[in-house]
C-alpha cells in the first residue's frame, strides 16, 4: 500500500454536504463538547479569550479575516496541544521527559464557558467521511487544506461556530476551534499559572498521564 500523501482538496460538492453536528453525535462525550465548559492554556501576560488571525495554526483563516480560539475538553488536552510537540522533537525531553517550572509558569489555565450550546461541526468520527475528509485534515503537518476547510465551514449558510476533532498528540481527547463569530457567547476565567500551588494537583495529574516530571 502506498503512502496516502497530503490530504486532497475539499470535494467539489462540499458546500452542499450535510454538516455533522457535535450535538447530534452518537457519542455522549462529543455531544457534550457543544455545551462546554472547555479548558485553555494561554500565556500569563495575555487574556484567555484570544482569537488568533495570524494564519499560523491548523484551522486559522487563510485570509486572516476572522479569528480562531483553540481549547481542549479538559486540562490534559489543553496541555498536550500546547506542549506535545516538544515531547517528540526536543532531544533532551525524549530522554528525560521533564518540564522545568520556569517554562510552565509563563502559561495559565483558563476555563472557557459558552452561554449556550454552540453549533460545533463534528470531525471526530463519521463526520470526516460525510464531508469527504480523513484524519489527515486534523493531524497532518500541512495546514493548507485544513485552513481551507475552516473558511469553507465558516461561510456555510448554517453558520457553524466552530469544530471539534481528536487531539493530535492524544487522540483519545477532543480539541475544539471556536470561530470569533461566537465570541459574544463566551466568558472565561483565568485560573492562574500552571504551577501555582492551587493548580499543582491538576498539573501533576496531567504530567502523570504523559509520564512526565516537573523539575
Q: What mean pLDDT comes out for the span 55-78? A: 98
Spatial distance between the Cα atoms of 24 and 120, rounded to a whole number of angstroms: 10
Confidence band of 44 (pLDDT split at 50, 70, 90): very high
Range of the domain at 177: 21-214
For residue 50, being part of any structural domain is answered with: yes
Residue 107 has pLDDT above 90, yes or no: yes
Set of cell numbers at residue 43: 500565556
Give 122-163 pLDDT, tens digit per residue. 999 999 999 999 999 999 999 999 999 999 999 999 999 999
Placement of cell 523539575 in the chain: 215
With respect to residue 29, please indicate whether it lies within any of the assigned structural domains: yes
pTM of this prediction?
0.95
What pLDDT shows up at residue 192?
97
Domain for residue 10, yes or no? no
Q: Is 76 among the domain residues?
A: yes
- Residue 3 covered by a domain: no
Q: Please, is 93 exposed, middle or buried when counting C-beta atoms within 10 Å of its C-beta (0-12, 13-18, 19+)?
A: middle
Within a domain: 14? no
Amino acid at each position: 500500500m502506498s503512502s496516502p500523501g497530503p490530504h486532497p482538496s475539499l470535494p467539489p460538492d462540499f458546500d452542499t454536504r450535510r454538516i455533522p453536528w457535535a450535538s447530534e453525535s452518537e457519542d455522549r462525550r462529543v455531544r457534550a463538547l457543544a455545551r462546554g465548559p472547555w479548558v485553555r492554556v494561554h500565556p500569563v501576560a495575555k487574556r484567555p479569550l484570544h482569537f488568533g488571525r495570524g494564519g499560523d495554526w491548523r484551522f486559522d483563516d487563510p485570509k486572516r479575516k476572522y479569528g480562531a480560539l483553540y481549547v481542549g475538553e479538559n486540562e490534559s488536552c489543553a496541555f498536550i496541544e500546547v506542549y506535545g510537540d516538544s515531547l517528540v522533537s526536543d532531544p533532551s525531553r525524549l530522554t528525560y521527559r521533564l518540564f522545568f517550572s520556569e517554562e510552565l509558569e509563563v502559561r495559565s489555565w483558563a476555563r472557557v464557558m459558552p452561554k449556550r450550546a454552540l453549533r460545533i461541526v463534528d470531525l471526530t468520527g463519521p463526520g470526516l467521511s460525510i464531508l469527504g475528509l480523513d484524519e489527515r485534515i486534523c493531524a497532518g503537518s500541512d495546514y493548507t487544506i485544513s485552513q481551507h476547510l475552516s473558511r469553507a465551514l465558516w461561510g456555510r449558510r448554517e453558520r457553524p461556530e466552530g469544530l471539534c476533532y481528536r487531539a493530535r498528540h492524544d487522540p483519545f481527547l477532543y480539541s475544539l476551534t471556536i470561530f470569533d463569530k461566537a465570541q459574544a457567547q463566551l466568558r472565561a476565567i483565568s485560573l492562574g499559572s500552571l504551577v501555582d500551588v492551587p493548580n499543582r494537583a491538576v498539573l501533576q495529574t496531567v504530567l502523570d498521564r504523559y509520564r512526565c516530571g516537573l523539575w
